[in-house]
Structure 1
Amino acid sequence: MKFFKNYSLMLLPLLVLPFTSVLSLEEAYNRYDFPPEFVFGSGTSAYQVEGAADEDGRTPSIWDVFAHAGHGAAGDVACDQYHKYKEDVKLMKDIGLEAYRFSISWSRLLPSGRGPVNPKGLQYYNNLIDELITHGIDPHVTLHHFDLPQALQDEYGGWLSRESVRDFTAYADTCFKEFGDRVLHWTTLNEANVFALGGYDQGITPPGRCSPPFGLINCTKGNSSIEPYIAVHNMLLAHASVTNLYKKHYKYKQHGSVGISIYTYGTVPLTNSVEDKQATDRLNDFLIGWILHPLVFGDYPKTMRTRVGSRLPTFTADEAKQVKGAFDFFGVINYMAVYVKDNSSSQTQDLHDYNTDMALTMTLFGNTTFGSEHANTPWSLQQVLLYIKETYDNPPIYIAENGQTTPQTSSLEDTTRVRFLSSHIEAVLDSIRKGSNVKGYFQWSLMDLFELFRGYELSYGLYYVDFKDPYLKRYPKLSAHWYSSFLMGTLHLQCSHSVL
């Protein structure tokens, strides 16, 4: 199974009601067992919830163009948060969210990708941020969530060009100037690792580039052997540029922080063989180390250097100096676990891409299928947190996304999601007690929304959205009541002592 197939297997005012824990009655804990500065929230992204795709000066992003090229549903309307943001912030307040993670649509703020700011876009994000703060909700902002302006993709190939570093830095500078007096937590790029693989190796996400035999769609342009590595390299340089800009010009007066998020798996060798254990180590180097290793140590993992060879870009001495240490935190995105089996025979192929470079195969832990609940594997999240603690000098971490997918349904009794959240929050607490430097947890997602791989067929939300209703009415699910009770300290979870 190819890497990205695994990823795509995962992809009304609320009254606070009493809730009885579904876990066994052993040692009780609640929200106040977490450190005082720990933050709980929920998240969405611009293309998945905003809608208003061609309103008030917004221009297409690469996701707009990809969706309208026949790759499934589109986010033209989505949840219409652009017009309903006040209602949605009220929903956040009702359940007691302490923070909201959302992204800015680059092409809404800067329609040409650079140059003049769109006044309507600026007004919208100012209004959203102010509304959050008025209700005591901390804004956590992502600058790029799979939605590069199409204008820059057309002009110079987007992330395949070093020009992207310049334009992304200028875009971030605009955001820091306009919003940094109220926004203290910035994530530059969402899932740089998965974004590169989907968009430049397998072609199933924008900009839809790949080459035979690796693409999972009929790609007409691209080079799967080299483009994912080039894209990530430029994204790392852009991230470092933005982080260093913030540290030099904004941190002393705004006192915020800048990070980057990565997609992760919990991993289990399929067998106890040396080969499968080594393959598991390779997966961690290629998936996590691809992004974190340069930022912590100044270069890619040796495993990648050896296996990818000249196809893996190199940092100049000056670039390595700029990249190393260019972070305040890392965002961890985790939904599931995989079995890992060595597949060294793939190294004998004439053509290579990321998957053949890793030389392994993966199978979902628990035999879950797309559209059914994720296997409830809280140890997966804890394993990743402790791995980063031990491997990368225990950096500050936010759980940027964690949640469960189910088929989209009008039923509000999402008991499996409640079990998923309760067990994963327990895993986070246990990780903190074991020394992991975790600062916050963001459930994905606040409401049912446009999912990047299956449109409106799947659900992650605490709120059900009736997409057949012209007003897109929101309804709280059982998980929203549960999360609210937990956040307000009225719910005592029960430790199962079975996370690991």
Structure 2
Amino acid sequence: MKTLPKNFIFGGATAAYQAEGATKTDGKGPVAWDKYLEDNYWYTAEPASDFYHKYPVDLQLAEEFGVNGIRISIAWSRIFPTGYGEVNAKGVEYYHNLFNECHKRHVEPFVTLHHFDTPEALHSKGDFLNRENIDHFVDYAEFCFKEFTQVKYWTTFNEIGPIGDGQYLVGKFPPGIKYDLAKVFQSHHNMMVAHARAVKLYKEADYSGEIGVVHALPTKYPLDPENPEDVRAAELEDIIHNKFILDATYLGEYSEKTMDGVNHILAVNGGQLDLRDEDFEALKAAKDMNDFLGINYYMSDWMKAFEGETEITHNSKGDKGGSKYQIKGVGQREFDVDVPRTDWDWMIYPQGLYDQIMRVKKDYPNYKKIYITENGLGYKDDFVDGTVYDDARIDYVKQHLEAISDAIRDGAVVEGYFIWSLMDVFSWSNGYEKRYGLFYVDFETQERYPKKSAYWYKELAATQEIK
């Protein structure tokens, strides 16, 4: 039987926009998602899980079920309704109350400043493609660092990679632009500069807590490891989603191999980047200051060579086999491989998490420690007899925890795991049908019901034994 270390965090993850609801309550400013969901999808973020009002219930459940850490994000537009300027006192009060309740319930808050929800007033002016918004983010971060002294673990951004991917490649996030690789890389770069500046500010102010960043790191494999063209496709896909942002985080620059790949992708697809000397000064200043790296891991991908036109079909409704992903000059994802996959065509491959952790350890030895900040199985829960018998979710989490245990055995420093998600939340471009939570939420009544996985997780947290 595999085990996890004592003092390991057994956490649950949430995000403000996916959980809080109350999108117009107590002075909260709009975000781009508000209108984008109304215009493009079949649901909105109301009421979500009503965490805005129900957080005492959720934190009590966390305490009862052995969850001793929670990922929470601050909704930037609850603090600054237009992204900067006048502070919304009711928003500040809400987060003080929330963080105090966390400590009352002995659940350590790991707080993210930006989880996909730039205020609309800034998003409409280019989001992080607009360099002015880097300054606004750093100012917002500084306010939060000073104000919320209860918080000891800060994350600047959640998933810089999927933000650029969703906004400018797949087009499933606002503003819904597709196939613009230059915007993808520029968004990655500018957000990493914002991260670096916020980290430097935090460390130089000598706050007593820790600060890091959360990256989604889907592992990329060549369909045929003996085929150099498939190997190249996997490398290029990895640069888009992983290596570019990891280099910025821990090297403070982009390696020659990374930039060769970026330049190839842009030569084929068009566009150019604005990379400035002062950007790299900021990145290099912060590269050794990150106290931790959060890794969000759900899936791996298998890539084969491809020279045709770019075409991406997003499977938003869980219609298995409905996905298509091919980028000109990069490669094509192959879904028909001997690996289980979800209804949303996410390939279930725990070895990919092990490989990604060990890749960070090997390629970026100045990392200090890792938390697995998101991992879990989203599917169409069957609510029966007041619960969900989610054995598939238990099996998924168990296999990934075993991969983490193996990585720790092999020398990686991993100090916690946050299941996505603590309770059911709404899932961005996938709606309410895709559920991940330990606790089933009846979105009509907002009642919570522990799933079978919640009881399994409680025993895991109590024993550190993966069984």
Would you say same fold, with TM above 0.5? yes
- Unmatched 5+ residue regions in structure 1? 1-27, 215-223, 348-353, 495-500
8 Å contact from structure 2 (residues 341, 348) kept in 1: no
Single out whichever of 427-436 and 362-371 deviates more from structure 2. 362-371
CA-CA distance at 1:318 after TM superposition: 3.1
Alignment of 1:429-444 (within 5 A): 429-444=405-420
The number of residue pairs the alignment matches comes to 438
CA-CA distance at 1:40 after TM superposition: 1.8
Distance in 2, matches of 1:382 and 1:78, equals 33
What's 2:460 paired with?
486
Out of 312, 315, 334, which is 1:363 matched to?
334
What's 2:169 paired with?
201
Task: Give the partner amino acid of 1:422.
Answer: K
SS for the counterpart of 2:40 is coil
Distance in 1, matches of 2:243 and 2:128, equals 20
What's 1:72 paired with?
42
Say what the alpha-carbon RMSD is for the aligned residues.
Answer: 2.2
Single out whichever of 68-77 and 313-322 deviates more from structure 2. 313-322
SS for the counterpart of 1:458 is coil
Q: State yes or no: 1:477 paired with 2:415.
A: no
What's 1:9 paired with?
none
Alignment CA distance shift 1:65-1:127 (3 Å) = same
CA-CA distance at 1:460 after TM superposition: 0.6
Alignment CA distance shift 1:86-1:484 (3 Å) = same
SS for the counterpart of 1:209 is coil
SS for the counterpart of 1:338 is strand
Single out whichever of 313-322 and 368-377 deviates more from structure 2. 368-377
Alignment CA distance shift 1:406-1:356 (3 Å) = closer
Q: State yes or no: 1:241 paired with 2:241.
A: no
Task: Give the partner amino acid of 1:191.
Answer: E
Out of 296, 302, 319, which is 1:333 matched to?
296
TM-score between both structures, scaled by the size of structure 2: 0.88
Q: State yes or no: 1:268 paired with 2:227.
A: no
CA-CA distance at 1:374 after TM superposition: 5.5
**Per-residue CA shift, 1:47-72, capped at 9, x if unaligned?**
11101111100111111121122323
Distance in 1, matches of 2:366 and 2:307, equals 32
Alignment of 1:377-416 (within 5 A): 377-393=349-365, 395=367, 396-411=369-384, 412-416=388-392
Give percent identity, aligned residues only.
Answer: 35
Q: State yes or no: 1:148 paired with 2:108.
A: no
Distance in 2, matches of 1:425 and 1:228, equals 32
SS for the counterpart of 2:100 is helix
CA-CA distance at 1:230 after TM superposition: 2.2
What's 2:260 paired with?
303
8 Å contact from structure 2 (residues 79, 88) kept in 1: yes
Out of 155, 166, 170, which is 1:187 matched to?
155
Alignment CA distance shift 1:278-1:209 (3 Å) = closer
Distance in 2, matches of 1:484 and 1:358, equals 47
TM-score between both structures, scaled by the size of structure 1: 0.83
SS for the counterpart of 2:218 is strand
- The structure whose RCO (Cα within 8 Å, separation 6+) is larger is 1
Distance in 2, matches of 1:134 and 1:79, equals 21
Out of 285, 288, 293, which is 2:239 matched to?
285
Q: State yes or no: 1:322 paired with 2:296.
A: no
Task: Give the partner amino acid of 2:190.
Answer: N
Alignment of 1:454-469 (within 5 A): 454-469=430-445
What's 2:106 paired with?
136
What's 1:343 paired with?
306
Q: State yes or no: 1:170 paired with 2:126.
A: no
Alignment CA distance shift 1:133-1:314 (3 Å) = same
What's 2:83 paired with?
113
Distance in 2, matches of 1:358 and 1:98, equals 45
Task: Give the partner amino acid of 1:482.
Answer: W
SS for the counterpart of 2:101 is helix
Alignment CA distance shift 1:409-1:372 (3 Å) = farther
